[in-house]
Amino acid sequence: MTIYLGVDGGSSKTHAALVDASGALLGFGTAGNANQNTAGLENALGEISRAVRMALAQAHADPGDVALGCFCLAGADFPDDFVNLRARLEGLGMAQKVIVKNDTAAGLRSGLSRSWGVVVVCGTGFNAAGRARDGRELGLPSYGPLTGDWGGGGDLGVEVVGAVMRARDGRGRPTLLTQMVLDALKLATTDELLQAIHLNRLSHRQVLELTPLLFEAAHAGDAVASELVVRMGNEVGLTANVFLERLDLAGTDAEVVLTGSIFKGRGPLLLDTVRKAVHALSPQARIVRPVLEPVAGAALLALELAGVAVTAQTNQRMQTAASLAIPS
């Protein structure tokens, strides 16, 4: 049995998918943080291995059956990263051949109908990448504020708490977010919220999990929340436009793929803002919300890198299987 492995390793979760040459999903595994920059290299490798082992067990397969594994990983940003991660992954013996890419590659492939385009990823963090028609590729360093990156769940969660606290002391306007945040954290008052902040009892995970409330409040007409969503949309649009220009795709019908949990927030405001910003530069550009999850994009890359022809039937089979087995 010859099979292929796609891994999408992010800062919150890792997904691994095993497929055959037809695109049929044989096994799926999930684990935690695979970003070496935030989890540490050994922990990241452990989570990747755990997800792959789960997929192998579900497929009743051995690592020797895996002809090629495409590992699309957050934290794989510079040439040394790719060399080191590839060597360590090869040492774990999860596939006969190992290829390492940044996790943006999985998101890009999950939404493209051709080989060129742009992707903006808004999950726990913020990232973007793109490929020109001549094969040139660009990406962001994606190290957060130190490299000018803003957006994603981590930043938006902080903004949500900040908006509540500014409303509390009068520097900001009243917002529906106040009661929503207190309810989510099971607190009675903003004084209790301040105490939790002061005593360092508000974890990064808790802050991250507040992000969906931003979109709920904006959908309900809250001005403070709506302005934050628009700010996020304009940042996505700005980033997409820069990549379109640098890759000589401005003014074309290039696909701009939007992946990550932030784009699943309630209401149309975020996507409408992105679309307006992108179409101001490239009216024909196509804003794409992929049907496939990024891990399916990684699996498609594995097939292509192994020389397997990917057809419309392959994509359809992957889409059907992924919708049943891969959590969004």
pTM of the full structure: 0.85
- Pair 199, 238: CB distance under 8 Å: no
- At residue 325, the pLDDT reads 53
The CB-based long-range contact list for 41-50 (8 Å cut-off, 24+ gap) reads: 41/88, 44/9, 44/73, 44/75, 45/88, 45/89, 45/92, 47/9, 47/14, 48/7, 48/9, 48/14, 48/16, 48/73, 48/89, 48/92, 49/92, 49/94, 50/14
In a domain, 300, yes or no: yes
pLDDT mean over 56-61: 95
214: which 2 tokens?
A: 């931003």
Q: Find the domain containing 301 and state its range.
A: 3-110+292-325
Cross-strand bridge partners of residue 14: 9, 31
- At residue 14, the pLDDT reads 96
pLDDT in tens, 192-201: 999 999 999 9
- For residue 115, report the phi and psi dihedrals to the nearest 5 degrees: -85, -10
Task: Give how many domains the chain has, as a whole number.
Answer: 1
- Residue 119: is its pLDDT beyond 80? yes
How far is 182 from 119, CA to CA, in rounded Å? 35
Mean pLDDT of the chain: 92
Q: Could you tell me the CATH number of the domain that includes residue 55?
A: 3.30.420.40
Collapsing DSSP to helix, strand or coil, 293 comes out as: coil
In a domain, 179, yes or no: no
Q: How many other C-beta atoms are found inside a 10 Å radius of the C-beta of residue 214?
A: 29
85: which 2 tokens?
A: 């991660």
Collapsing DSSP to helix, strand or coil, 126 comes out as: strand
- Residue 121: is its pLDDT beyond 60? yes
Name which residue leads in pLDDT, 90 or 318: 90
- Pair 294, 106: CB distance under 8 Å: yes
pLDDT mean over 46-50: 97
- Residue 45: is its pLDDT beyond 60? yes
In a domain, 37, yes or no: yes
- Residue 27: is its pLDDT beyond 60? yes
DSSP per residue, 156-195: HHHHHHHHHHHHHHTSS---THHHHHHHHHT-SSHHHHHH
In a domain, 27, yes or no: yes
- Residue 203: is its pLDDT beyond 80? yes
- Pair 17, 5: CB distance under 8 Å: yes
Cross-strand bridge partners of residue 129: 119, 139
In a domain, 21, yes or no: yes
- Pair 11, 33: CB distance under 8 Å: yes
Query: Residues 318, 321, 327, 328: is their CA dihedral positive or negative?
Result: positive
In a domain, 164, yes or no: no
Give the pLDDT band of residue 265 (cuts 50, 70, 90): very high
pLDDT mean over 60-76: 94
In a domain, 136, yes or no: no
Give the pLDDT band of residue 319 (cuts 50, 70, 90): low
Residue owning tokens 């020797």: 64
Give the pLDDT band of residue 174 (cuts 50, 70, 90): very high
- Pair 35, 44: CB distance under 8 Å: yes
Burial of 305 by CB count in 10 Å (0-12 exposed, 13-18 middle, 19+ buried)?
Answer: middle
Percent of the chain with pLDDT over 70: 96
219: which 2 tokens?
A: 């959908």
In a domain, 165, yes or no: no
Name the residue among 127, 73, 117, 145 with its Cα closest to residue 259. Answer: 127
